[in-house]
Amino acid sequence: MLRRCLAAFPAVTAAVFIVPVVIGLIGTWLPAFGYLPALGAERLTWAHWEYLLTHPSVPTAARHTLISAWGSTLLSLLAALTLLALTWRSRTLRWLRRSLSGLLAIPHAAFAIGIVALLAPSGWLIKLASPALTGWELPPIFSLVRDPWAISLMFVLALKETPFIIFMTLAALQQLQVGRSLQMGRSLGYTEFMAWRRIILPQLLPLLRLPLFAVLAYGVSVVDLALIVGPSAPSTLAVLVDRWFNHPDILRRLPGSAGATLLLVLTVLSLGLWWLLEKLWLRLSRPHWDSGQRRSALHWLARPAEGLSLLLIGSALAAFMVLVVWSFAFRWGFPDPLPQSWTLRFWERGWTRLQQPFWLTLWTGLAAAVIGLVLVVGCLEHEVTLRRRRPGFTGPKLFWLIYVPLIVPQIAFLFGIQVVLVWFNLDGNWLALLWSHLMFVVPYLFLSLSGPYRNFDDRYVRQAMLLHGGEWCALSRVKWPMLLRPLCYVTALGFAVSLAQYLPTLYVGSGRFATLTTETVSIAGGGDRRLVGVYALTQWLLPMLIYSLALLVPAWCFRHRRGMRLQ
Amino acid sequence: MTKTRLRIIRMFKTLRHMPLVASLVLTAGLPVAALAWDDLEDAARGQQVFFNAWGGSEPINDYLLWAADEIADRYDIVLEHVKVGDTGDVVSRVLAERAAGRDEGGSVDLVWINGENFRAMKEQDLLYGPWTDRLPHYELLDFDNKPTLTMDFSTPVDNMEAPWGMAQLTFMYDSARVDTLPDSMAELLTFAQENPGRVTYPALPSFYGTTFVKQAMLELTDDPSVFYESANAVEDPAAELAPLWDFLDELHAVAWQQGRAFPQDAPQMKQMLNDGEILLSLSFNPNDASNAILTGELPDTVRTYVHSGGTIGNTHFLAIPYNASAPEAAMVVANFLMSPEAQARKADIEIWGDPTVLAIDQLSRDEQQLFDDIERGPAGLSDEALEAVLLEPHATWVPLLEDEWQRRYAR
Amino acid sequence: MALELKQVTVRFDGTQLFEPVSLRVEPGMVTTVMGPSGCGKSTLLAAVVGDLAPVFSLSGDVVLGGQSLLNYPMEQRHIGLLYQDDLLFPHMNVGQNLGFALSAGMPRQERRARIADYLALAGLEGYADRDVASLSGGQRARVSLLRTLMAAPRAVLLDEPFSKLDTALRGQFRDWVFGTLKEGGIPALQVTHDVEDCGDGPVYLLQEGRLA
């Protein structure tokens, strides 16, 4: 009975999340070819593509997009891997692991605002050094942020994504039983670093493919971060397209749709290229696996890797601190190292102003995370049945579809979805909002839970069934409690994903739902950093709280169970 | 409104379709227009108005909270401020609703709008109206001295949107850092050359940036009248714009980041002014600086100025989408926001500092007192300085400016 | 109550894994099937306990106490299975692990008394509140068998249960297990590849798909 119920999960999950994306895409593709009857455009034409492809800003904007997306993906992968390889078993790693949840909880907009307040020509760093060290009475005229090559955007994206890649790598490593492989490698005389390169990496990369796809796709389509730290003349392609969708000249939505489609094409091409490169790397490096080389010339990387992890945690911490200082400032000019006068009024006001959004965000996030968890656990449990039926089975092909919302740029289907929702009178409805969040929560949950869940030793379940009968009992009293740690953790992750949704909340909610994120983004538009500090910190602290709970609850439950501790 | 009056209105409401009663009312000398408005206020009772307005400024959000309280008390209407980042989002939403065939019961009841967004919605028949002449406070508007009340960026308003506040391109500077001020675009260039890296303006198509460029365009030509005609009617529009591009080329060479990067909008420039990254910032609200000084956002040495040849001025409005769920209540809200009381509070620099659209000399003595009581801010401008207002050039020039600007500076 | 295998064989993809097996396990006796790894011993046990993956097809009959088991799902056969890994639930203490095998309706007092009795049986008095992670390998193995017995199985299957224990412990534990099973009069079927593990019960050899 239970098993038969489970069989429905994958189909339902996929249908609920894919059908709207497809409809949304069609609703974007038709305008791209000139069909949008609401504007009186009913003739199919290439004109909007022509406009797009001959637009003076598009080539550079596309270059910005590719540099920042590819650069940040490669950098964050490199950073995560070097960090893990060089700090494996060391104290640094344990330290990093502990701070990981804090890093994952960072809402990217808040992080970017903090980084700008830190690194801008008039940022905190230069304020602290001026005029005593630099002699500057005015901020310097060179700028580390918003550079015309999108390098700063790339770095901020990379900093933001590295914790996620580390998190996903740790999950994948557990699957690979790294400890044993490394021991073996070392017993054969390989340095630990070489053992990583020759033994672990070739197995690891395929496992990281999906998370990296998500990171790459995010880099191509990100709007808010690009607005805050990206170049401005022109901006990235996603920003350009977003502007057309909001352009006063309504007809710009037609080339806008073409632009959104181009973003999708760029994403798909990027993912394809990534896949090819991965294959190529494996093919090219295969002859070296048994070359017998046991030491690597790359050993000197150990130090920089430690530096990198410090930089990672340090920059998050510093971004956090600068927001804290700003939120209590009344007057803060250049080059004062600290505000001239302080005030509590922005917290007092922010607190009353944010109460409603706070509760809405909390309930929506929790609901999305819990429903998402039920759906994902249902799918994964069903997979167990399937795997028994067909050994060697790794999950139905259908599951790939769940990742579609992560990979398709949001702008490319949200307008279409909005039209459909309005059609069915579902816009501005909390359930519709919840569903739109689930669209993004479910794939992330799937991505992060499937590793630990698939790794679970199924014999525990068989044993429990033999001892007590009843599959439900075996799952609810043995399997899920044993998986409590990852279950709690991914619930917190799901919560953070729901919290971060900006465009879906705006489009699907018809502007009727104010969440911490929509409030922060709209207040960020006013540029008052003291208020932005208050909002961004609240938006940061809430997921941090949830993450801490997700760590503490299992830790407390199993405080007397050594076997349940993190290895 | 008293209970008896209410009861009378209800009575008339039930009877109004009877011609006999109507004629009786007329003969009894009751003003029909006023009755119609009261009737409308009555219909608006209990309705909810979703007011979509930019939510980036705390003073403005606070002001709207105050307005919502007042409106709830007086008219039994729930005013919800839907905070938007970009009015374009609202236009998109109304558009999506029309695409889906929802011609009534839309999600937007009232929208803060002007310029190109207004033109687009008007041209696409996305607006309700005409309606503004039905508002009792319509008569108090200062049409004589404020031509932008009827002409929004060269698009006739045609009573499709209600004036809410006045705007004028104003420059800010920190008097602790700047002594001599530029009085024209030509002097601005000299100023920038003397202070390399310290002058900039927002990137187009941000409307702050577009206005700055339009200001330059109007100042740098010998004959500004060309720009008040449709660009399509001008023989060689590119030739007319040549001096502008020469000017911008020279300016960018010495501008912030050498013109390879620009701020997003005016709020960001305000930050940069506070930080000393740039020496001049701009705003559409002459009282913006004063308000920012009071809230601590800018140092108290900040002052404002305008070019003596005049700067571009315009008006911002309130419009009702064609499919609004509660157009009656939206009108009542608009009428309240145009009341002397609401306008005076809005003009107060300690609250917001947005200049009024009303003709103050037409108000009652008490009402005038409300405006007289407002203190001039530390960075306020004299009325004389603000009198030199340039009208927005014809709207057809805007796409030309934006496209060419992007071709030259954003590629 | 005896456990009987009648002409039992398992097919995978149409291929027969071993010749039909027929044997009878008497109550209290440990019957051993020996064979090299990969000969299908574990599959045979899975067939008996009812845990064959759907890709395998079973023919023949498994009879316990004169009743065919084939129509019952795994959880209703009341057969215990011990692996080489003890599979103690790490999130429960020793008492909870044992209590898991008791039926839900039992009053708390009786539950606790029963657990204490069983622990005493294994020389683990007072261990009920201990974390399983704190036990030694031998203790874990004993708790694991106790847990299996706690569910009052009608038969017990042993899948190389001693192979992970070190030699010193191994003989001791084996004698204890066999003794306990004998006392309970429970039929037990063991598969192993190690001659040492055979008790004094009958021993069969599963080699090249044939039982001898």
Q: In A128-161, which positions are buried (b, 16+ CB within 10 angstroms) versus exposed (e)?
A: eebeeeeebebbeeebbbbbbebbbbbbbbbbbb
pLDDT tens-place string over residues A143-201: 778 888 888 899 899 888 888 898 888 888 877 777 777 777 777 777 777 777 777 88
> How far does the CA of residue A266 sit from the closest CA of chain B (Å)?
19
pLDDT over threshold 60, residue A81: yes
CATH homologous superfamily of B3-165+316-380 equals Periplasmic binding protein-like II (3.40.190.10)
Query: Neighbouring chains of B at 3+ CB pairs within 8 Å?
Result: A
Token output for B130: 């005409």
Average pLDDT score over residue span A535-547: 89
Residues C65-93 have pLDDT tens digits of 888 888 888 888 888 888 888 888 988 98
pLDDT tens-digit readout, B319-346: 999 999 999 999 999 999 999 999 999 9
Pick the CATH number of A1-24+345-567 from 1.10.3720.10, 3.40.50.1470, 3.40.720.10, 1.10.3210.10: 1.10.3720.10
At A396 the pLDDT is: 60
B264 to A38: CB separation less than 8 angstroms, yes or no: no
Which residues between 438 and 457 in chain A have a beta carbon less than 8 angstroms from any beta carbon of chain C? 457
Chains that touch C (3 or more CB pairs under 8 A): A
Task: Please enumerate in sequence order all residues whose Cβ is within 8 A of that of A329, keeping only pairs 6 or more positions apart, or say none.
Answer: A339, A341, A342, A343, A529, A530, A533, B296
Nearest CA among B203, B176, B183 for reference residue B260: B203
Q: Which value does ipTM take for this structure?
A: 0.91
DSSP structural state of residue B253:
H
Mean pLDDT over B333-360 rounds to: 92
Do the chains contact at A122 and B102, CB–CB below 8 Å?
no
**What is the secondary structure of A289-324 as a DSSP string?**
HTS-----GGGGGHHHHHHHHHHHHHHHHHHHHHHH
Least confident of A298-307, A483-492, C38-47, C202-211: A298-307
Length of chain C equals: 212
C134 and chain A in contact, CB less than 8 A:
yes
Contact B101 A423 (CB under 8 A): yes
- Show residues of chain A in contact with B199, CB under 8 Å: none
What integer pLDDT is reported at residue A294 of this predicted model?
Answer: 62
Q: A546, A361 in Cβ contact below 8 A? A: no
- Pick the range with the lowest mean pLDDT from A210-219, A379-388, C93-102, C181-190: A379-388
Task: Check pLDDT > 70 for residue B2.
Answer: no
**CB < 8 Å to C133, chain A:** 561-563
Structure tokens at C41: 């011993």
Question: Which of A406, A55, A69, A115 is CA-nearest to residue A236?
Answer: A69
Residue A397: which pLDDT band, with cuts at 50, 70 and 90?
Answer: low
B378: its two tokens? 């530390």
The tens digit of pLDDT for each residue in B100-158 reads 888 888 889 999 998 888 988 998 899 998 999 999 999 999 998 888 899 888 889 99
Average pLDDT estimate for A87-102: 75
Closest residue in chain C to residue A458, using alpha carbons only? C87
A147-150 long-range contacts, Cβ below 8 Å, gap at least 24? A147/A231, A147/B261, A148/A231, A148/A233, A148/B257, A148/B260, A148/B261, A149/A64, A149/A67, A149/A231, A150/A63, A150/A64, A150/A65, A150/A67, A150/A68, A150/A230, A150/A231, A150/A236
pLDDT of residue B330: 94
Are B83 and A427 in contact (CB < 8 Å)? no
A527 confidence band (pLDDT: 50, 70, 90): confident
The three-state secondary structure class of B166 is strand
Pick the CATH number of B170-313+389-409 from 3.40.50.10130, 3.40.190.10, 3.40.50.300, 3.40.50.450: 3.40.190.10
Mean pLDDT for chain C overall: 84
Q: Work out the minimum CA distance from A513 to partner chain B, whole angstroms.
A: 8
Each residue's pLDDT tens digit, B70-111: 999 999 999 999 988 788 888 888 988 888 888 888 889 999
* Residue C185 token pair: 């009069």
pLDDT higher than 90, residue A290: no
**A394-423: average pLDDT:** 76
A398 pLDDT more than 70: no
Per-residue pLDDT, averaged over B245-250, amounts to 95
Cβ contacts of C153 within 8 Å, gap of 6 or more = C78, C79, C80, C186
β-pair partners for C32:
C190, C203
Cis check: omega of the bond before B19, within 30 degrees of 0: no
Q: Do chains C and B touch (3 or more CB pairs under 8 A)?
A: no
Please state, in angstroms and rounded to a whole number, the distance separating the CA atoms of residues B212 and B202.
8
How do residues B275-311 score in pLDDT, each as one tens digit? 888 999 999 888 889 888 988 889 999 999 999 888 9
State the Cα–Cα distance between residues A505 and C33, nearest whole angstrom: 64
**Nearest-CA neighbor of B67 among B318, B317, B338, B321?**
B338
Least confident of A385-389, B159-163, B271-275: A385-389
Q: Test A415 with B407 for CB contact under 8 angstroms.
A: no
**Torsion angle, alpha carbons of A369, A371, A373, A377, to 10:** -170
- Residue A556 has φ and ψ, to the nearest 5°, of -70, -45
Chains that contact A by 3+ CB pairs under 8 Å? Answer: B, C
Q: pLDDT value at position B9?
A: 40
Give the three-class secondary structure for C33: strand
Question: Is-contact B262 B200, C-beta < 8 A?
Answer: yes
Residue type, A213: F
pLDDT digit string (tens) for A332-363?
888 888 888 898 988 988 888 888 899 999 99
Q: Does A512 touch chain C (CB under 8 A)?
A: no
Q: Are residues B119 and B286 in contact, defined by beta-carbon separation less than 8 angstroms? A: no
Say if CB A92 and CB A306 are below 8 A apart: yes
Give yes or no for residue A500 having a pLDDT over 60: yes
CB B277 within 8 A of CB B197: no
The ranges assigned to domains in chain C are 1-78+174-212, 79-152
For chain A, the structural domain boundaries read 1-24+345-567, 46-160+217-290+300-343
- Is the separation of the CB atoms in A81 and A169 below 8 Å? yes
Average pLDDT of chain A is 84
Residues of C numbered 97-126 whose beta carbons fall under 8 angstroms of chain A's beta carbons: which are they? 100-101
Number of H-type helices and E-type strands within chain C: 5, 11
CA–CA distance, A169 with A356 (Å, rounded to integer): 37
Q: Report residue A298's pLDDT band, with 50, 70 and 90 as the boundaries.
A: low
pLDDT score recorded for residue B298: 92
Encoding tokens for residue B192?
């920038």
Pairing of strands C210-211, C155-159: unpaired
Indicate if the pLDDT at residue C149 is higher than 90: no
Q: Tokens at residue A422, please?
A: 């309005």
For residue B171, is it left (φ>0), alpha (ψ between -120 and 50) or beta?
beta
- Per-residue pLDDT of B7-64, as tens digits, reads 444 433 333 343 433 333 343 333 334 447 888 888 889 999 999 998 878 889 999 9
- A–C interface: beta-carbon pairs under 8 A: 77
What is the mean pLDDT of the segment spanning A241-253? Answer: 82
Check if B3-165+316-380 and B170-313+389-409 are the same fold.
Answer: yes
A78 is written with which tokens? 């490199």
Residue with more model confidence, A129 or A59? A59
Report the percentage of chain A scoring pLDDT > 70.
94
Q: What single DSSP character describes residue C77?
A: S
B178-202 pLDDT per residue, tens: 988 999 999 999 999 999 999 999 9
Q: Cβ of C93 and A560 within 8 Å?
A: yes
H or E element that contains C80: strand C79-82
Residue A295, pLDDT score: 62
**Superfamily of domain C1-78+174-212, CATH level 4:** P-loop containing nucleotide triphosphate hydrolases (3.40.50.300)
- % of chain A residues with pLDDT over 90: 20
Mean pLDDT of C18-31: 85
As a whole number, mean pLDDT of residues B312-317 equals 92
